[in-house]
Structure 1
Amino acid sequence: MGRRLAGGKWPVMVSEVRLGYHRYRVVRAARVPRFAGLYEGRLGAQFCLDKESAAMFAMAWGLAARSPYTIVYLPLRRAEPPDRHVWGRPLDLVLLHHRLAFAPSRWKQVRARLGTGRPHSVTLPGDAWPSRPAAADRGRFWHQDFLDHLRWDIAADTLFLTGSRKAFELEADQVRALAEECPAHRVRTPGTHCCAEIGMGRTRHYPDRRRPYAELHAEYRG
């Protein structure tokens, strides 16, 4: 898995931001995809992607899982959506490891201090996108004591997804498939639906009242 993504270079800009006693490393896409769109929806968020933005999303996902002290930022609000018939507030996306203990309320100040940043290239190995877990492993997701959920927040017009490496890896295979399988699938079968359904928050059975279970529906529309 991940053969086409592995070894590929993702051009990014890296900024170091000091806020009070804290210093944050922010990695953001050097180029905003021409076509992309992330929108707040009634049941979570709707993410529309094409070939370029799906590859960017997969690289960002792999980096967030493996870089516990990096804020991974995708500025999406000003991109043009592949499908103009999408409703909801446009959002940016931030992916981060829970070890950073970053409060989304700080993001507006951090974002304002990013500056131009310095250019860099991110290269990730193939195991940054593990294969879908075995049913027995994924089944633990539904247990009350399971902790590796992706937590979500919305602040400063940005969707935040925060979790452990395992939380990101549980969803990594379908994120990879958006970039590696959906383009070819759409060529073979034009108009077919190709998506990733990424759970956000604790399950419906053991909800978090402040951040109830929601879903990031990432649909390939290239």
Structure 2
Amino acid sequence: MVVPLAERTWAVRISTVRLGDRQYRVIRPARAVGFGGLYEGRLGAQFCLDKHTAATLATAWGLAARSPHSIVFLPVRAARRPDRCSWWGRPLDLVLLHHRLAVPASRWKQIRGRLGAGAPYTVTLPAGAWPDRPVADHRRVWNDGYRDHLRWQIAADTLVLTGSREAFDLQTEQLRQLAEDCPAHLAVTPGTHCCAEINLGRIGRYHDRRNPPAELHVEYCRLR
């Protein structure tokens, strides 16, 4: 049973990694993700998941928005992958981090290599971790001067997403719906395409050459 995301308790492991004069706190699930496939794609990345992994992703996303001093890590490369996704690009892990950390994606490989077992901990996120934002807030992302977009890079077989709380919050309602509503909806209408479309990079007329617009397409999938 998946706990509704009105409030979510998450069992995690927390590792503290020191590199030079910097110290990083990394939060990851206490249990390995059982089913899911995150793949590099031509226009960004594709994530296939079931209801349990969808709830994990939504929880990790809400935590990343509210934990400016932590790196949230979802190791999904070793998860059982959907058969229908086997033709996509290389499999990836996922890292979510607040931009205040200023962690270059190129440093992630070193951090990951020093995680160790980590210490067990329980995180509880309140209902406000998945805000339903008004349409006007979503329209603002198209303004030329808007800066709260999610930056993305792929490094060490990992999709690294970096942004402000605002950037993460604008996408949380999609992920909440995917986790809470899609399983019941697909039980009634099995052939429905149920997904979240997460905008990455700066959209609008002026694009960043180093961080072009892309999409993380998150799709609810069955085992077969």
CA distance in 1, matches of 2:156, 2:121: 26
Compute the displacement of 1:8 (Å).
Answer: 2.7
Distance in 2 separating the partners of 1:6 and 1:22: 35
Moved more, 156-165 or 198-207: 198-207
1: CA distance, partners of 2:81 / 2:191: 17
Cα displacement string for residues 53-109 of structure 1 (whole angstroms, at most 9, x for unaligned residues): 000000000000000010000001111123343311100000010011111111111
Taking structure 1 as the reference length, the TM-score comes to 0.95
Write the deviation string for residues 21-53 of structure 1: whole angstroms up to 9, x where unpaired.
000000011122221010000010000010110
Counterpart residue number, 1:205: 205
Aligned-residue identity in percent: 64
Correspondence for 1:72? 72
The TM-score normalised by the length of structure 2 is 0.95
Does the 8 Å CA contact 2:195/2:220 hold for their aligned counterparts? yes
What runs of 5+ residues in structure 1 fail to find an aligned partner? none
1:94: which partner in 2?
A: 95
Contact 1:48 1:83 in 2 (8 A): no
Asked if structure 2 preserves the Cα contact closer than 8 Å seen for 1:6 and 1:123, the reply is: no
Q: Please name the residue that 1:191 is paired with.
A: 191
Q: Which residue of 2 aligns with 1:120?
A: 121
- 1:22 equivalenced with 2:27 (yes/no): no
Q: In the comparison of the two structures, how many residue pairs are matched?
A: 219
Q: Please report the RMSD computed on the Cα atoms of aligned residues, expressed in angstroms.
A: 1.2
| Alignment of structure 1 residues 1-222 onto 2, 5 Å | 4-86=4-86, 87-131=88-132, 133-222=133-222
Segment of structure 1 superposing worse, 81-90 or 171-180: 81-90
Preserved contact between residue 33 and residue 75 of structure 2 (Cα < 8 Å): no
SS in structure 1 at match of 2:196:
strand
The 1-side partners of 2:45 and 2:60 are apart by 18
- 1:16 Cα deviation after fit: 0.4
Alpha-carbon distance in 1 for matches of 2:22, 2:209: 29
SS of alignment partner, residue 5 of structure 1: coil
Secondary structure class of the residue paired with 2:85: coil
How far apart are 1:204 and its partner, in Å?
4.6
Distance in 1 (alpha carbons) for counterparts of 2:117 and 2:205: 44
Q: Which whole-Å CA distance do the structure 2 matches of 1:56 and 1:194 have between them?
A: 17
Cα distance in 2 between the residues matched to 1:206 and 1:177: 30
Runs of 4+ in 1 over 3 A off after TM superposition: 83-86
